[in-house]
Amino acid sequence: MYYGNSPGGLSAYFTDILLFVGMLIIPLLAQLGVSLTFSKYSKVHSSRGLTAEQVARRILDLNGLHDVRIERVGGKLSDHYDPRDNVVRLSDSTYGQSSVAAIGIAAHECGHACQHAEAYKPILARNKLIPVTSVCSHLWFYIFIAGCIFTFLPFLRYVGIVMFCAVILFQLLTLPIELNASRRAMKTLENDCILEPSELRPARKVLTAAAMTYVASLASSFMQLARLLMRTRR
């Protein structure tokens, strides 16, 4: 994209470069942070000796979710709750582990199961966006580029931006859902005495680091939106 040789054009050029670098680095730093934090507290084992899947089963049963299954999946930190199959899936780095890090992650995923069971409103709102967001996330870039290539169809650039905004809206709705699941996890771990008071802080640090990956992803998307708007003005 040509910005010209004027001071304003050079300023826009460097702003675009800074935004692009930020888009790449911020999510990487957040991912590195959660990986390092999880690795650190994976060495801190729960004094009660409960494993992550045992804690997950206990939390689910205490909330009346006896029908929610727990499965093991490959990978590291690939833990998730799948509402379609009604199953909490714990990764190799979590399942069978008795560390406060693994227990915190398992409790977080159970928090999502509880959210779905009680029809948590932010999840209902986000679910309504899934079909639209799925299409927008795959097509917005191509439509925006088409608007840049075919200059006689400039409106396509705005269509692409609007579609990208739908993706950002989905991310905005996802963030409070993740934070709420973590709050539920910490409350349960404390109130049900699953972790000792001294073990709660490490577990919270793991969940906070995990939440920062969603914050970083959202920040990266806003940087991308700023770049798109700059290019459209040019």
**Please, what is the Cα angle at 119 between 86 and 108, to 5 degrees?**
60
Is 171 within the bounds of a domain? yes
Mean pLDDT of all residues in 148-159 = 92
pLDDT tens string 199-222 = 999 999 999 999 999 999 999 999
Is 149 within the bounds of a domain? yes
Provide the residue type at 186 as one letter.
M
Structure tokens at 205: 């640090």
Confidence band (pLDDT; 50, 70, 90) for 14?
confident
Confidence band (pLDDT; 50, 70, 90) for 2?
very low
Q: Say what the pLDDT of residue 180 is.
A: 97
Evaluate whether 189 touches 103 at the Cβ level (below 8 Å). Answer: yes
Is residue 3 pLDDT above 80, yes or no?
no
- By residue count, the chain amounts to 234
Is 1 within the bounds of a domain? no
Is 33 within the bounds of a domain? yes
Confidence band (pLDDT; 50, 70, 90) for 130?
very high
Catalytic residues: 109
Provide the domain limits for residue 194.
Answer: 7-233
Mean pLDDT of all residues in 47-54 = 95
Is residue 116 pLDDT above 90, yes or no?
yes
**Structural domain count, the chain:** 1
Mean pLDDT of the chain: 93
Is residue 145 pLDDT above 60, yes or no?
yes
SS3 2: coil
Is residue 6 pLDDT above 60, yes or no?
no
Kindly list the distances between the CA atom of residue 217 and the CA atoms of 62, 65, 136, 167, 229, in Å, as whole numbers in the listed order: 33, 31, 17, 11, 19
Q: Say what the pLDDT of residue 175 is.
A: 96
Q: Say what the pLDDT of residue 4 is.
A: 52
